[in-house]
Chains A and B, each alone.
Chain A
Amino acid sequence: MLNRSCIRWPGVFFACAVWLVIPVFGFPKNPADEHVQLELISEQNAVVPGKELWFGIRIDLQDGWHTYWTNPGDSGEAARIDWHLPAGYEAGAIQWPYPERLSTPPFADYGYQHQVLLMVPVRPPAGLKEGQTQKIGALVRYLVCREVCIPGRKELELSLPVQTHAASESRELFEATRSRLPRPVPPSWRISATSRGDEFLLNLRIGKLDKEPEFFPLEAEQIENAAPQEATAIPGGIRLHLKKSKHLLKPASRLKGVIVISPGGGYLLDVPVLQSGRDYTQTRH
């Protein structure tokens, strides 16, 4: 009720925001906390010296709310993580599961509803001693939106012992998320892209499909995010018609993105764009 009026009446937004930070009646500190929960989790229950392990930021969203993919689409912003790791640790990049298209015509965003795990591989140093406790910290900055958007900022922490062996703890969630990470395209696939007029033709010679695939661009402002991706049949596969972004002033040399097929999952594409109408096919090496 309070929050609704805060959102509906921007005039009182500031007053509400100030009021909300006063911790009375157990009100959370950040307005975003009401709609999203974040937790830092580890796939393993211990750190093994020198052995890569996976951490994840689990984001649980209230119904109707969403957060964003690495390319957020027409609006929004992807989450960022600043790691606070003990000396000698190396953290990799966020492994983004493929998103869903969040359509609010005339726009479309790319993101996640309900729950997402942002997985990051981390390598601890080899010289750790058994029995030490490792304190892992992460500052996550994120945006959650419904009709309105609320930025959030959360400090998360986790302690793990150093052991010579580790057991899996949150394996199911990590495995489920891995199945949504884009994979390299299979060697048998032949994929090409052509620029024709105001569209890119993405030719996917990948055999028969039960359902039309969906393309998610990794680079902003290459295609019109909200435009329908029309699919037509070509020998050995399917062609997606992707409308060029009006912000694309120079010819795009490559199309990078994730193609999601069902069943199958997400595949990472990075193909050169042929500027003429000739159909050039790139095979994977």
Chain B
Amino acid sequence: MNRNLIHGLMVTLLLISSAYAVKVGEPAPDFQATDSNGQMHKLSSEHGKFVVLEWHNNGCPYTRKHYESGNMQRLQKDWTSKGVVWFTVISSAPGQQGYVTAQQENEYLKQMNASPTAALLDPQGEVGRLYSAKTTPHMFIINPAGVLIYDGAIDDKATTEQADIAGAKNYVSQALEEAAAGKPVGMPTSRPYGCSVKYAH
């Protein structure tokens, strides 16, 4: 009884503490969400792999900058081909900009030639609020041990202009390259830039 109780308490405490402190260097809080194909994904099931979380709103000019230029798709392709799990997360509430049904999202992915591992639908904003996702895009990276190693912007050019992508330093690729090489991440946080995530009020 005691062991179970203590174990249960510890898990609860871990969940509580993690819910209040999504912080680089600490375990990334677990979540589960359904993707646009109706499949359930659980972060903890991806243990042993790098996981990228990309907050997304297809009407936001900052998101559009990275999709209409093909930049985001390129990143998705490059990194998933190296075994990285890439979750696009949509936390727009129904009626808000960026909210999509599963079918609309699948059409969008096809139209945009996007290839995340999965597009997670989070209309209640549960995953978004758990991670304090602020903007679209807002990027997070979790290492194979389940520790958050990056929380911030996609790159260092906080604009809506596609022309800025060429000269930008991509923080996501940089962090993944460093971490994959066993190095510490040089830039583990940055100010995420973009539109605010359109959570339910």
Residue of A nearest to B108 (CB): A11
B134 touches A246 (CB 8 A): no
Q: Mark A56-87, 1 if CB is under 8 A from B, else 0.
A: 00000000000000000011110000000000
B134 touches A247 (CB 8 A): no
Residue of B nearest to A78 (CB): B158
B129 touches A106 (CB 8 A): yes
Instruction: For A106, list chain B residues within 8 Å (CB).
Output: 129, 132, 199
Other-chain residue from B25, B152, B189, B195 in contact with A75 (beta carbon distance below 8 A) = B195
B96 touches A147 (CB 8 A): yes
Is A7 an interface residue, CB under 8 A from the partner? Answer: yes
Knowing A147-B198, A151-B160, the reply to whether A74 touches B134 (Cβ < 8 A) is yes
Is A150 an interface residue, CB under 8 A from the partner? Answer: yes
A11 touches B135 (CB 8 A): no
Other-chain residue from B95, B135, B194, B195 in contact with A148 (beta carbon distance below 8 A) = B195
Is A145 an interface residue, CB under 8 A from the partner? Answer: yes
Cα distance A10–B95 in the bound complex, in angstroms: 10
Cα distance A147–B57 in the bound complex, in angstroms: 13
Instruction: For A246, list chain B residues within 8 Å (CB).
Output: 21-23, 132, 151
State the interface size on chain A (CB cutoff 8 A): 27
Q: Mark B172-190, 1 if CB is under 8 A from A, else 0.
A: 0000000000000000111
Q: Mark A247-262, 1 if CB is under 8 A from B, else 0.
A: 1110000000000000
Knowing A107-B196, A221-B189, the reply to whether A247 touches B151 (Cβ < 8 A) is yes
Stretch from B4-12, B58-66, B72-80 contacting the other chain: B58-66
A10 touches B98 (CB 8 A): yes
Other-chain residue from B97, B151, B152, B160 in contact with A143 (beta carbon distance below 8 A) = B160
Q: How far is the CB of B97 from chain A (nearest CB, A)?
A: 5
Instruction: For B59, list chain A residues within 8 Å (CB).
Output: 7, 10, 13, 148
B25 touches A249 (CB 8 A): yes
CB interface residues, A 219-261, toward B, < 8 Å: 220-221, 246-249
Q: Mark A96-127, 1 if CB is under 8 A from B, else 0.
A: 00000000101101000000000000000000
Most B CB contacts (10 A, CB to CB) among A13, A75, A220, A246 go to: A75
Cα distance A13–B108 in the bound complex, in angstroms: 12
Other-chain residue from A8, A75, A77, A147 in contact with B159 (beta carbon distance below 8 A) = A77
Is B100 an interface residue, CB under 8 A from the partner? Answer: yes
Q: Mark A129-169, 1 if CB is under 8 A from B, else 0.
A: 00000000000010101011111000000000000000000
A149 touches B134 (CB 8 A): no
Instruction: For B97, list chain A residues within 8 Å (CB).
Output: 7-8, 10, 147-148
B100 touches A74 (CB 8 A): no
Is B24 an interface residue, CB under 8 A from the partner? Answer: yes
Cα distance A24–B190 in the bound complex, in angstroms: 43
Knowing A75-B134, A77-B158, the reply to whether A220 touches B191 (Cβ < 8 A) is yes
Most B CB contacts (10 A, CB to CB) among A10, A150, A249 go to: A10
Cα distance A7–B95 in the bound complex, in angstroms: 10
A249 touches B95 (CB 8 A): no
Cα distance A7–B198 in the bound complex, in angstroms: 13
Residue of B nearest to A224 (CB): B132
Other-chain residue from A8, A75, A141, A249 in contact with B194 (beta carbon distance below 8 A) = A75
A10 touches B100 (CB 8 A): yes
Instruction: For A220, list chain B residues within 8 Å (CB).
Output: 191
Residue of B nearest to A75 (CB): B196
Instruction: For B158, list chain A residues within 8 Å (CB).
Output: 77
Q: How far is the CB of A64 from chain B (nearest CB, A)?
A: 15
B195 touches A249 (CB 8 A): no
CB interface residues, B 16-69, toward A, < 8 Å: 21-25, 57-62
Instruction: For B190, list chain A residues within 8 Å (CB).
Output: 221, 247
Is B104 an interface residue, CB under 8 A from the partner? Answer: yes
Other-chain residue from B25, B188, B195 in contact with A145 (beta carbon distance below 8 A) = B195
B191 touches A149 (CB 8 A): no
Is B86 an interface residue, CB under 8 A from the partner? Answer: no
A77 touches B132 (CB 8 A): no
Q: What are the 5 A-B residue pairs with the smallest beta carbon separation, nearest first?
A: A10-B59, A247-B189, A220-B191, A75-B196, A151-B160
Name 6 A/B residue pairs within 8 A (Cβ), A-sorted.
A7-B97, A10-B97, A76-B195, A151-B61, A221-B190, A246-B23
A107-B134, A149-B61, A249-B25 known, 13 other contacts, Cβ within 8 Å = A8-B97, A10-B59, A10-B99, A13-B59, A75-B135, A76-B196, A141-B159, A143-B61, A149-B60, A220-B191, A246-B23, A247-B189, A249-B24
